[in-house]
Amino acid sequence: MADLETYRQKRDFSRSPEPRGKRGRKRSQSSFVIHKHDASQLHYDLRLEEGGVLRSWALPKGPSLEPGEKHLAVQVEDHPLDYGDFEGVIPEGYGAGTVMIWDRGVWRITGKHDDDQIDFALDGDKLKGAWTLKRMGARGGNGKPRDGKQWLMIKRHDDAGAQVPDSLDDISVVSDRDMAAIAEAKPATSSASSSSKKDAASGTSCAKKASSVKVRGTRSSGGRKAKSGPLIEADKIDGARKASLPAHPSAQLATLVEKAPRDDDWFHEIKFDGYRILARLDHGKVSLLTRNGHDWRDRFPEIAEAIEGLPLEKALFDGEIVALRRDGVSDFRRLQQALGEEKSAGLTYQIFDLRYLEEPGLDGVVLDDVKLRDRKALLAQLCEAVRIGNRGMLRYTDHIEGQGEAFYEQASRQGLEGIVSKRADALYRGRRNRDWLKTKTEHQAEFVVGGYTDPQGSRSGFGSLLIGAYDDDGKLRYCGRVGAGFSHDQLTTWQWELSRSPRKTSPFVERDIPDLANSHWVTPKRVIDVTFGEWTRDGRLRHPRFRGVREDRDPADIRLSQQQTAERPMNDGSSETAGGKRRSPAVADNGEIEIEGVRLTHPDRVLFEDAGITKRALAEFYAEHAEWILPGLAERPLTLLRCPGGVGKECFVQKHPGETMPDDLPSVAIAEKSGTHDYLYARSAADLVALVQMGTLEFHLWNSRIDDLERPDQLVFDLDPAPDCEWQAVIDVARELRQALAELELTAFLRTTGGKGLHLVVPLKPHADWETAKAFAEAVCERCAERHPDQLTLNMSKQARHGKVLLDYLRNGRGATAVASYSVRARPGAPVATPIRWADLGPKLSADRYTLANLPRRLASLKRDPWAGFDDARQRLTKKRCRDVGMEI
């Protein structure tokens, strides 16, 4: 029977902000809430309204999300109904910690409902679908009796209308705050206040608000009818003027600069990697206008419908339509893929400005003459009023005020495209000026296609696109050729598309374009997005790579002055940026090329089909980042994974040099049971390129060097999660293992594997032999597994690994290998095994977070090696350390 006495006995309401509560009356619909609770252990609480109270279960691993997935649910005391509105901080005592309203809505019974099983459906902001709560048996697997409080929460299969998030995010559905923001606030009252909601909607980093902006009430979006009366008194804000909704609005554009402004009177936003869209709402009908004035409503129907559901008469929003990865980073390739497959339901409209507003009962006002500071405050409060936050199809774009350089560095570390800086007091002007500035974390620009070359070797479609941009006199200037970044399907599609608009003469003003006999000219009407290394002295791009098509750009608007960054040519043919950084001369781009003195055949062969990465791009990556790769890889015996035809084709492992290997590659003779065999190793960037020329994708290495083969100088602990293991479990295990090693006065360094898990690498002074090192690693793993048997296992069988992280110590035996730091993996997307700082380990990280596409940006932004101090941390495996882990010496 429902009872609140237990709930009240456990709490001191003179200290705790939790509601004392009382039993409620039966309502037409039963509510539910899921709290995220950072108490002694982080967990979730499922609360179902029944019998005038909230029946409650603690979920140590959160709600189950995948069909068939079972999560433990421990029944706890009933809670009062008004606890469903509680969000805040519980002080020291029972349940001390931060509480978030992670989800809420209504629930209903769908089947069985008795003392041992509840079949139910949730209809919440995040969770929509079917589940079962089933009480576990009277006795556990060990024969011990249970107390009847252990249940299982089981996700059931749903119809097409159900939805669950990809992961357990960290955002409240009522205040849009994360756990940190809630914890930093003072203890909350029994509900999240409207003022805190407003602060969260516009971000805690937004220091200043316009006092003249007032909210009259809140209403929901999503197609529901608006209540009478306006939401916001936009007509009272300074600079607002009564006018009709602009019929053909133009977008404000940002000017490219090398560095973000330092002054405090600038707002800084993330630069999104998508399509710039002005959303024009006029009495329930939306136009989604590109920069060149085309209406793309039919291309993004779901976003249009979401905007049409807002309780507004008229509005003009400025924003960007993007495809977001799970880590929240926008991905232009995914956006292009979604459009190509006509799957736009998963896209997002990031709204960052409000230019016009008309609500019921108020005249429409143009906001272009309102200062940005006030427009953003108005937009934030409007979004809060209609429940547009940090999730869903429509999202508010937050900003920070000041700290431009620090914000740019953070964007670089996270692999973002860049930032946009805007003067806080600037008015909105539909043209390019220096009130808005953009700073990119890599060189990226747009170019007009004027021709193409024939394919070479096994490549199909075309060889390279010939690209350019218009100068101030309106003449198309040649900027180089781009052949990397195209998938096989894109090569075929582009060749067919280009063949439809041929022309007899070159559209470029230059007449010294290389390999004219191999070129075909086309009408310059297509615009593409390109990343590149730098501009060469003669105005060409170095290492350009195709990113996507820009259908929203007019070729005539692609100006050379806007694509070039501030670089000064040097006498030796290299260039120098405005910051004084010197860059290498350009590499020739004709047929077979040379990189680091190594001849590369078939450079345009695509090795990663999905990412369009060529053999040349891979070789350039290893050559240009050799200073990062070689310290951990040089002069160690290697095992290579060779895939001459690319990922998805035939691959094989090679330890010993074959007849086809170049004679100048270094090798070392190593005694094995079957005799003495040569092993390859690398000394230089040229050796890495030579191995790529032979089809090598992955480098795996020994834990010892060639000059001291029998004494390892590092240990590698491989954390390999089972398929049903959550990423948080991997994080927890990594931290537990680090602590266990720290207790032995050993320092562990962290690396993503580019696969599923993590590596912890411990530097050693080469002293102990292989047998001792392997036994020590095993003993450390056993010690951790004994402490946390529910999380860890050393057993490699699939059955034993269910829901656990495998601690693999076997990489520490003689002849065993582990993937090298900064080695690309032969997997879709070209992930890279990447050293990281311990501070980088968190929910937003993933084992394949860094790829060949985004890692160069990260490395360029780092001021310090993530593994700085690796050599200084070397320790011996002493007898005392061995005894401390239970080894017999």
Q: What is the pLDDT of residue 24?
A: 64
- Per-residue model confidence as pLDDT tens digits over 384-436: 888 787 677 899 999 999 888 888 887 876 667 789 999 999 999 988 888 99
- DSSP classification of residue 427: P
The pLDDT confidence band at residue 577, using thresholds 50, 70 and 90, is: very low
Residue type, 299: R
**pLDDT tops 70 at residue 663:** no
Residue 790 exposed, middle or buried by CB count within 10 Å (0-12, 13-18, 19+): exposed
Residue appearing with tokens 């690319």: 646
Residue appearing with tokens 């620090």: 406
Average pLDDT over residues 66-74: 83
Q: What is the pLDDT of residue 642?
A: 92
Residue 167: CA count within 13 A, CB half-sphere: 15
The pLDDT confidence band at residue 90, using thresholds 50, 70 and 90, is: confident
Query: Considering all CA atoms of the chain, what is the largest pairwise distance in Å, rounded to the nearest integer?
Result: 90
**pLDDT tops 70 at residue 226:** no
When computed from its CA atoms, the radius of gyration of the chain, rounded to whole angstroms, is: 30
The pLDDT confidence band at residue 454, using thresholds 50, 70 and 90, is: confident
H or E stretch including 223? none
Residue appearing with tokens 């070729």: 555
The pLDDT confidence band at residue 140, using thresholds 50, 70 and 90, is: low
Q: What is the pLDDT of residue 145?
A: 59
Give the whole-number percent of the chain exceeding pLDDT 90: 41
H or E stretch including 14? none
Residue type, 199: D
**pLDDT tops 60 at residue 586:** no
* CA 737-743-749 angle, 5° bins: 50
* CA 419-420-423 angle, 5° bins: 140
Strand partners for 73: 151
**pLDDT tops 80 at residue 585:** no
**pLDDT tops 60 at residue 282:** yes
**pLDDT tops 60 at residue 290:** yes
The pLDDT confidence band at residue 26, using thresholds 50, 70 and 90, is: low
Determine the Cα–Cα distance for residues 562 and 564; give it in Å rounded to an integer: 6
Residue appearing with tokens 């199809």: 393
Per-residue b or e along 459-473, where b marks 16 or more CB atoms closer than 10 Å to that residue's CB: bebbbbbbbbbbeee
* CA 397-398-401 angle, 5° bins: 140
Outline where 465-594 has alpha helix (H). Answer: 488-498, 560-563
102 within 8 A of 86, measured Cβ to Cβ = no
* CA 336-341-347 angle, 5° bins: 60
Residue 431 tokens read as: 């043209």
Average pLDDT over residues 365-379: 94
**pLDDT tops 90 at residue 175:** no
**Minimum mean pLDDT range among 308-317, 623-632, 737-746, 832-841:** 623-632
Cα–Cα nearest to 26, from 54, 47, 51: 51
Residue appearing with tokens 């005539």: 556
Average pLDDT over residues 861-868: 84
Per-residue b or e along 26-45, where b marks 16 or more CB atoms closer than 10 Å to that residue's CB: eeeebbbbbbbbbeeebbbb
Average pLDDT over residues 160-178: 74
Q: What is the pLDDT of residue 515?
A: 61
Considering Cα of 436, then 441, then 443, then 449, what sign does the dihedral take?
A: negative
User: Catalytic annotation on 271?
Assistant: yes
Average pLDDT over residues 455-477: 84
Bridge-based pairing of strands 275-282 and 285-289 is antiparallel
Q: What is the pLDDT of residue 139?
A: 55
Overall size of the chain counted in residues: 889
Per-residue b or e along 306-337, where b marks 16 or more CB atoms closer than 10 Å to that residue's CB: bbbbbbbbbbbbbbbbbbbeeeebbbbbbbbe
Cα–Cα nearest to 100, from 195, 30, 173, 186: 173
Q: What is the pLDDT of residue 246?
A: 93
374 within 8 A of 237, measured Cβ to Cβ = yes
297 within 8 A of 331, measured Cβ to Cβ = no
84 vs 210: which has the higher pLDDT = 84
6 vs 712: which has the higher pLDDT = 712
275 within 8 A of 320, measured Cβ to Cβ = yes
Helix and strand tally (H, E) in the chain? 16, 47
616 within 8 A of 600, measured Cβ to Cβ = yes
The pLDDT confidence band at residue 146, using thresholds 50, 70 and 90, is: low
**pLDDT tops 80 at residue 581:** no
469 within 8 A of 559, measured Cβ to Cβ = yes
Arithmetic mean of pLDDT over the chain: 83
DSSP letters, 474-508, are: SPEEEEEEE-BT--HHHHHHHHHHHTTSEESS-SS
Bridge-based pairing of strands 805-808 and 792-793 is parallel
- Per-residue model confidence as pLDDT tens digits over 777-835: 999 999 999 888 888 888 877 777 888 999 999 999 999 999 999 999 999 999 999 99
Is residue 440 helix, strand or coil?
A: strand
Average pLDDT over residues 300-304: 93
Pick the catalytic residue: 36, 126, 271, 440? 271
Tell me the backbone φ, ψ of residue 690, rounded to 5 degrees. Answer: -60, -35
The domains of the chain, with CATH numbers, are 5-184 (no CATH), 210-243+275-399 (3.30.470.30), 449-577 (2.40.50.140), 598-701 (3.90.920.10), 714-884 (3.90.920.10)
Residues sharing a CB contact under 8 Å with residue 581, sequence separation 6 or more, in sequence order? none
Q: What is the pLDDT of residue 576?
A: 37
Q: What is the pLDDT of residue 214?
A: 39
Most confident of 142-146, 516-520, 536-540, 870-874: 870-874
Question: Phi-psi category of 839—alpha, beta or left, where left has phi over 0 and alpha has psi -120 to 50?
Answer: alpha
